[in-house]
Copies of this chain bind each other. A is one copy, B any other.
Amino acid sequence: MDSFVLPSFISPNSEDIKRRIYARIRSDLHRIEAEIDRNINSSIPLISVVARHIMGSGGKRLRPLLMILSSRLCGYTGDRDVSLSVVFEFIHAASLLHDDVVDHAEFRRNQPAANTIWGNPGVVLVGDFLYSKSFLMTVGYNNIRILEVLSSATTKMAEGEVLQMVHSDNLEVDEEEYLEVITRKTAVLISAACQVGAIFGGASPEEEEALRAYGHHLGIAFQLVDDTLDYTGDVKELGKPVGNDIREGKATLPLIYTIKKAKPSVKKRLGEIFCAEEILPENFLEVREMVMRSGGIEYTLHSAIEHVQKAKESLDIFPAHPTKETLVEIADYVLCRRV
C-alpha cells in the first residue's frame, strides 16, 4: 500500500527533528529503560514475561519522558524523577494490555499481541498488576496531589474506554463526542504525566496548569495523527495493519468528517461497509479513497496542528530553557511522525 504524502504545510524533515530530539533526550531515555527493567521483575515469572513483552518492544517512552522534562522545566535537578516517570509507562502498558483484550487485537508493533500468546486471563491479570504496582510506586513519593492527578486520570481513562466501546459500530458519533473519547483515552494520561512532573518539580499553580494544558493538547494532537496514520500509514513502519479502526468499528475524525460532508449515496455506502460483519481489504481501500477525496485527512491534520500550536503556546509562561525547546520540538515532531 502506498504511504500517504504529507501535505506541504507539514515539514517533511521528520528524521531531522527526530535526530535533534534524540540527541537531547538520549541520557533520559537510557535512565528510563534501566528503571523499567529494574521494576518489571516479579517473583511470579508470568508477570515479568508479559510485562516485558508489552513494555520491551520499542515503545516511545513518551509519557515518562514528558514527566521528566516537565519536572526539569520547573527546576528539579535530582534523580528521583525517573522512578516516578516509569509509573506512566506502566499505566500505559496496562491500558494497552486491556485494550488488546477488548479489541481482540492480533498484532501490536510487529509482534503478536500478548493475548494471542498468553490468552485473555493472563493479560487481564497482568494488566491489573501493572495498574496496582503503579499506585504502589507512586505512594512511595508521599504526595497526595500527585496521587490525586494519577487516580483521577486512570478513572477518566477507564470511563473513556467504556465510552469508546459503547460508541463502537456507531457512525453517528460527532466530532465533539470523538474529542471526548480521545481526550480520555489518550490525552488524559499524557496530560497527567506533564502535570505530575510539574508538581514533582515544585511548580507554581500557573506552571502546573501550563504543563497540564501542554500535555492535554499534545495528547489530542498525538491521537489525531494516530487516527490519520490508520488510513495513510505504512504497514511495515507502523508494525500493525492499517484500517484497524474501521475493522474494530471505530469512527475516527477522518471518517466522521467524511460522513458529515458526504452526499446521501456516499453516506449510505459508508454505512453499509462500516456495519458489515467483515470488512475486506477492498472495502477499506474504498473507504480510504472516500476519506482522502473528502479532505478528511487534511481536516484532521489541521486540527492536530491547532492543538500542537496550543500546546506550544501553553509553554509561553516559561523563560527560554533547553528543556522548553525540547518540549516544543516534541510537539512539532508529533505532527510529522510516521509511526
Does A54 belong to the interface (CB within 8 Å)?
no
Does A152 belong to the interface (CB within 8 Å)?
yes
User: A52–B101 Cα gap in the complex (Å)?
Assistant: 23
Which residues of chain B are within 8 angstroms of A135 by Cβ–Cβ distance? 135, 147, 150-151, 154-155
Which residues of chain B are within 8 angstroms of A162 by Cβ–Cβ distance? 44, 46-47, 122, 125-126, 129
A101-B120, A139-B144, A139-B148 are contacts. A128–B44 as well, Cβ < 8 Å?
no
Contact check, B124 vs A102: say whether CB atoms are below 8 A apart.
yes
Q: State how many copies of this chain the complex holds.
A: 2
Most chain B beta-carbon contacts within 10 A, residue among A46, A132, A152: A132
A142-B144, A155-B136 are contacts. A102–B131 as well, Cβ < 8 Å?
no
User: A151–B128 Cα gap in the complex (Å)?
Assistant: 11
User: A124–B157 Cα gap in the complex (Å)?
Assistant: 13
Contact check, A125 vs B44: say whether CB atoms are below 8 A apart.
no
Which residues of chain B are within 8 angstroms of A144 by Cβ–Cβ distance? 139, 142, 144
Does A34 belong to the interface (CB within 8 Å)?
no
User: A121–B248 Cα gap in the complex (Å)?
Assistant: 13
The smallest beta-carbon distance between A53 and chain B, in angstroms, is: 14
Does A238 belong to the interface (CB within 8 Å)?
no
Complex interface bits, A68-100 against B, C-beta within 8 A gives 1, otherwise 0: 000000000000000000000000000000100
Chain B's closest residue to A131 (CB) is B131
Does A276 belong to the interface (CB within 8 Å)?
no
Does A159 belong to the interface (CB within 8 Å)?
yes
Which residues of chain B are within 8 angstroms of A328 by Cβ–Cβ distance? none
Q: Which of B102, B120, B122, B159 contacts A44 (CB 8 A)?
A: B159
The smallest beta-carbon distance between A183 and chain B, in angstroms, is: 14
A133-B155, A135-B135 are contacts. A128–B165 as well, Cβ < 8 Å?
no
Which residues of chain B are within 8 angstroms of A132 by Cβ–Cβ distance? 131, 151, 154-155, 157-158
Cβ < 8 Å to B, chain A residues 25-67:
42-44, 46-47
Which residues of chain B are within 8 angstroms of A124 by Cβ–Cβ distance? 98, 101-102, 124
Per CB-CB distance, the 9 closest pairs between chain A and chain B, nearest first, are A129-B158, A102-B121, A135-B151, A132-B154, A132-B155, A136-B151, A128-B158, A125-B161, A125-B162
